[in-house]
Amino acid sequence: MSEKLTETDAQSAARNEQTDRRFASSTPAPAEAVKAGKRVKEPIFDVHDVSVHYGSHRAIRDVSMGIQQHEITALIGPSGCGKSTFIRCLNRMNDLVPRARVDGSIVYHGENLYGTNIDPVQVRKRIGMVLQKPNPFPKSIYENIAFGPRVIGMKGDMDEIVESALRRAALWDETKDRLKTNAFGMSGGQQQRLCIARALATQPDVLLMDEPCSALDPISTGRIEDLMMELKESYSIVIVTHNMQQAARVSDMTAFFTVELDEAAKVRTGAVVEYDVTDKIFTNPEDKRTEDYVTGKFG
Ligand code: ADP
């Protein structure tokens, strides 16, 4: 198996230490970040002609895009256009969906994510996912964070791993005195940040977020958006959102998906209409369909 998907712990530890220091001092250290290579943008995913079938139904077709490191990439489009299907391709979550088949290629840090030598468990450790509805385990706050690192046999002091993840998710101050209490006692917004902390605990370098704020109130949503802006300094983020203001506020790049309808065959297939810098998508898109969608005329 590839080195990148197996032994990146040292790199991750270095990155996390860097992040921790930044939060501890609360002043960003751009010179250090540059030295650590964090600001140097490079493609993290190279997606080529990806199509996904569920049984005989083709849900998305021919998706191609490059996703940049240390950026927030938003996936927008009407319901059913395949945003969730696509984001699940990026950490092989569709492997777990019955009858799903992924064709095409996704290259992650220069290697084929779907190569026969790649371990999907390692993939999901490096490419974490946060779902729409906060889904903490019915356990203590501490155990929610410690679970993942234990499962993958992460070395190190567990108290430190837990603290570090909670700090990075901007949740430490609110939880440090109640680590042993049940996570279900937290507010919805706190639970979602706990899920983000849980994803960060296994030291990923990509965070996939599938409508992470759709169950949250505006204040909690704002906190998650602020957190995303902080996290992109150290991680790459892909977010599915039905909230166009959110995409415009937080993302660097936006992909607009739509549903193509084949009237004769009565099939609906998702496809990318336009993928570009977020400002351009929202102010001067190339495609009329994008314009209609972002101006609210359709969707
Ligand atoms: P979006 O996230 O844009 O709302 P989805 O990816 O959820 O779109 O769905 C795209 C298409 O794939 C839809 O037609 C949906 O019914 C179908 N689909 C999604 N998930 C599954 C699944 N697990 N099994 C079968 N079909 C699915």
Residues 236-280: tens digit of each pLDDT: 999 999 999 999 999 999 999 999 988 777 889 999 999 999 999
What letter does residue 131 receive in the DSSP assignment?
-
Q: Where in the chain are the domains?
A: 9-294
Structure tokens, 224: 């998650």
Q: Is 97 in the pocket of ligand 1 (CB under 6 A)?
A: yes
pLDDT of residue 4: 55
Residue of 54, 61, 97 to test ligand 1 pocket, by largest number of atoms within 8 Å of CB? 54
Residue of 58, 85, 89, 244 to test ligand 1 pocket, by largest number of atoms within 8 Å of CB? 85
Non-local CB neighbours of 149 within 8 Å, separated by 6+ positions: 156, 158, 161, 201, 202
What CA–CA distance (Å, rounded) separates 125 from 200? 9
Give start and end residues of each alpha helix (H) in 152-265: 158-168, 172-175, 188-200, 218-231, 244-250
Indicate whether 33 pLDDT > 50. Answer: no
Question: Do 50 and 261 meet the contact criterion of CB atoms below 8 Å apart?
Answer: no
- Do strands 100-108 and 111-112 pair parallel, antiparallel, or not at all (unpaired)? antiparallel
Please identify, by atom number, the ligand 1 atom nearest to the C-alpha of residue 52.
12
Structure tokens, 15: 């990155």
pLDDT of residue 216: 85
Structure tokens, 182: 């049940």
Closest-CA residue, ligand 1 atom 20, reads 85
Residue in the structure block whose two tokens are 């979550």: 93
Q: Among residues of the chain, what percentage have pLDDT more than 90?
A: 73
Q: Helix 158-168 and helix 188-200: axis angle, to 10°? A: 120
What CA–CA distance (Å, rounded) separates 222 from 209? 15
Residue of 51, 76, 83, 84 to test ligand 1 pocket, by largest number of atoms within 8 Å of CB? 84
Encoded amino acid at 81, one letter: C
Question: Do 245 and 238 meet the contact criterion of CB atoms below 8 Å apart?
Answer: no
Indicate whether 20 pLDDT > 60. Answer: no
CA 1 centroid distance within chain: 24
Indicate whether 3 pLDDT > 50. Answer: no
Q: Ligand 1 center to residue 175 CA distance, Å?
A: 36
pLDDT of residue 299: 62
pLDDT band at 152 (very low <50, low <70, confident <90, very high): confident
> Which phi and psi angles does 29 have, rounded to 5°?
-120, 80
Strands (E), 198-252: 206-210, 236-240
Q: Is 299 in the pocket of ligand 1 (CB under 6 A)?
A: no
Indicate whether 18 pLDDT > 60. Answer: no
Non-local CB neighbours of 25 within 8 Å, separated by 6+ positions: none
Q: Ligand 1 center to residue 62 CA distance, Å?
A: 16
Q: Is 75 in the pocket of ligand 1 (CB under 6 A)?
A: no
Q: Is 104 in the pocket of ligand 1 (CB under 6 A)?
A: no
Name which of 263, 261, 285 is nearest 76 in CA terms. Answer: 285
**Rounded mean pLDDT of the chain?**
86
Name which of 206, 184, 60 is nearest 130 in CA terms. Answer: 206
Give the pLDDT mean for 44-64: 96
Closest-CA residue, ligand 1 atom 21, reads 54
pLDDT of residue 27: 28
Q: Ligand 1 center to residue 46 CA distance, Å?
A: 23
What CATH class is the domain 9-294?
Answer: alpha beta
Please identify, by atom number, the ligand 1 atom nearest to the C-alpha of residue 88.
6
Give the pLDDT mean for 76-105: 95
pLDDT of residue 289: 95
Please tell me the least confidently modeled range out of 17-31, 90-104, 149-163, 247-261. Answer: 17-31
pLDDT band at 28 (very low <50, low <70, confident <90, very high): very low
